[in-house]
Structure 1
Amino acid sequence: MKKIIFSTLVASSFLFAADYTNSIGMVFKEIPSGSFMMGTPTLSTADCPKDNPFTAPNEYNDCVSSRTRNVNNNETPVHSVTVASFYMSETEVTQGQWYEIMGDNPANFKTGNVNMPIELVSLDDTKIFIKRLNAKEGGDKYRLPTEEEWEYAARAGTTTKWSCGDSESCVSSIAVYNTTSPKPVKSKKPNAFGLYDMSGNVWEWTESCWTSNYNSGKDCEYKVMRGGGWSSNNADCIRSAYRGTNTPSSRTGKDGFRLLRMK
């Protein structure tokens, strides 16, 4: 019952949220403030049975393995995060939007469709784009999201593996993955906040430094990437909590970004 009530509240917030469209036509969705549990929960192993010395099976290790094998350590421990309201671009930055600001198109996958996501851009490249967009609009409102803001927006009030639920059968409706190339943005359904491609299509740079888990120190030689991409060969790699990492100067045809606009 609590889960249903929470989903209803999120849906209500979305219905009354306001869009913001900037000077080059980028649409941003208003993301309401709130709290969520970040990461992937681990099942308790406290009640796993002790080994019986007179039987061949290793009951304890088998029990522990069954409860932990599907959890990536870098997604633990689960912890509560409170996020202030912000605007998030409804799509990944497109090749057309990149060209509008930068005057070029470095993407590897060029199909003639301006709504293809920009890729083959490093985190350093995204910072140049953001600096020029801020200058064009006479402020400093735009930046990359932190991974906390990103996961909150991706979950859109859900506590499930993907924003569409826990069943892998729903993933194809929201994500471009396990394919040979990215697809135009908005090819799949949005989440409850109206955001497209939060799972799959291209990996998305964040502002956050990498941590091997949420209790470890930050390594700023590597940045966190979120969302998975078109080349992710299974749905596990595009879960809301799934984390990737890369060096800020790296450029691949799998990597893009979306923007956050501060209020």
Structure 2
Amino acid sequence: MTMPAPRLYLFIGLIGTFQACSPNRSANIDHTGMVRIPAGQYAMGADGQQGRPDEYPKHQVQVDSFWMDATEVTNAQFARFVKATGYVTTAERKPDWEELRKQLPPGTPHPDEKLLVASSLVFKSPSQAVSLTDYSQWWQWVAGANWRHPDGPGSSIVSKDNYPVVQVSWDDAQAYATWAGKRLPTEAEWEWAGRGGRTNALYPWGNEPVEAGTPKANSWQGHFPDQNTRWDGFYGAAPVKSFAPNGYGLYDMAGNVWEWCADWYGADYYQTQESINPKGPAQPYDPQDPTVPKRVQRGGSFLCNDSYCSSYRSSARMKASPDTGLSHTGFRCVQ
């Protein structure tokens, strides 16, 4: 599944870049709402036949013990951070053209000023079946879309305190983690935690297909992207803890919303990855968008479906530029 690279696709709009902010670090650090993940060694990478090229080769990795948020960071938690610091998210800022042009081909013309407005990417289901090779059929830039208004003006997070915060960039997630006295997980930590102690299983719950038995994760059922049967009870994001936790007591490690990791994304990183507490490549590289540096995302989302994106698999990787906000992207922290 390929996600939009906003700095390159100016024909559908633009997104703002992070501007430096120095939020205050939380004075009290504790492990409330967190789960202790044991140290261990595991085979990192694709299981079964659904793996994408960047999930190979499968290789041994060792990680130290750490604490991880049991759930994705919620709207209520993020609101406390914003209230305490006055932080303004990427999607709420006007794009900085001088920053954007650094990652565009030389000679790219200055866009119309009316495009340079605070905005973010929103999923819009088409009314009929469309080609799965053109994600602009279901992703749209919407002015005024941000964490308070995930689907744009008129949408709201009122009465959704326990839903995962979305429309947050990597920079926003990093700022929150710093304030909370935490950090974003490495990709290796995330996969180790997501597997929940299972060895070589496709999913956090084992190998049973996502739509077999009882609902196990918030994903897309039916025909993507135009028809969702809501068999699992949800069309978009679900409140955290709506499904059973994995073996470590972590919720929504498959589906619901994508989660930012600390690492830069490297398509061929697994070919040279260190084996003890790996922290990602020193330099990012995505051959699909070679001029755009990207960070790793994990866990899949409510838009994942086997016909297009089976990324509720434990080994599945995704990537996006650090200034990207989407209506199905959030995060959780570790210590």
TM-score by length of 2: 0.58
SS of corresponding position for 2:78: helix
Q: Is the 8 A contact 1:120 1:256 kept in 2?
A: yes
Cα distance per residue 1:4-48 (max 9 Å; x no partner): xxxxxxxxxxxxxxxxxx769950000010000000157xxxxxx
Between Structure 1 and Structure 2, how many residues are aligned? 207
* Long gaps (5+) in structure 2: 1-27, 87-146, 151-155, 221-233, 273-280, 286-292
| Match in the other structure for 2:330 | 256
One of 268, 284, 287 as aligned partner of 1:219? 284
| Match in the other structure for 1:244 | 318
Query: Which amino acid is the alignment partner of residue 254 of structure 1?
Result: H
One of 48, 53, 57 as aligned partner of 1:77? 57
Query: Which amino acid is the alignment partner of residue 208 of structure 2?
Result: S
Q: Output the aligned Cα RMSD.
A: 2.3
Q: Is the 8 A contact 2:258 2:301 kept in 1?
A: yes
TM-score by length of 1: 0.72
Check 1:249–1:127 CA distance in 2 against 1; reply closer, same or farther (3 A cut).
same
One of 166, 171, 175 as aligned partner of 1:124? 171
Check 1:24–1:79 CA distance in 2 against 1; reply closer, same or farther (3 A cut).
closer
One of 169, 176, 187 as aligned partner of 1:147? 187
**Shift of residue 70, structure 1, vs aligned partner:** 3.1
How far, CA to CA, are the matches of 1:171 and 1:146 in structure 2? 32
* Greater C-alpha radius of gyration: 1
Say which structure, 1 or 2, has more relative contact order (CA 8 Å, 6+ apart). Answer: 2
Cα distance per residue 1:159-196 (max 9 Å; x no partner): 21002111204586331111531010000000010000
What stretches of structure 1 move > 4 A for 4+ residues in a row? 22-26, 169-172
How far, CA to CA, are the matches of 2:213 and 2:174 in structure 1? 31
* Long gaps (5+) in structure 1: 1-21, 43-68, 135-141
SS of corresponding position for 1:219: coil
Check 1:239–1:232 CA distance in 2 against 1; reply closer, same or farther (3 A cut).
same
Query: Which amino acid is the alignment partner of residue 160 of structure 1?
Result: A
How far, CA to CA, are the matches of 2:50 and 2:247 in structure 1? 26
Cα distance per residue 1:53-73 (max 9 Å; x no partner): xxxxxxxxxxxxxxxx63311
Q: Is the 8 A contact 2:194 2:204 kept in 1?
A: yes
How far, CA to CA, are the matches of 2:185 and 2:149 in structure 1? 22
**Shift of residue 113, structure 1, vs aligned partner:** 2.4
Query: Which amino acid is the alignment partner of residue 177 of structure 1?
Result: S
| Match in the other structure for 1:31 | 37
User: Which structure shows the bigger proportion of residues in helix conformation?
Assistant: 1
SS of corresponding position for 2:191: helix
**Shift of residue 115, structure 1, vs aligned partner:** 0.3
**Shift of residue 147, structure 1, vs aligned partner:** 0.6
Query: Which amino acid is the alignment partner of residue 183 of structure 2?
Result: R
Cα distance per residue 1:186-212 (max 9 Å; x no partner): 000000100000001110000011121
How far, CA to CA, are the matches of 2:204 and 2:271 in structure 1? 25
| Match in the other structure for 2:203 | 162
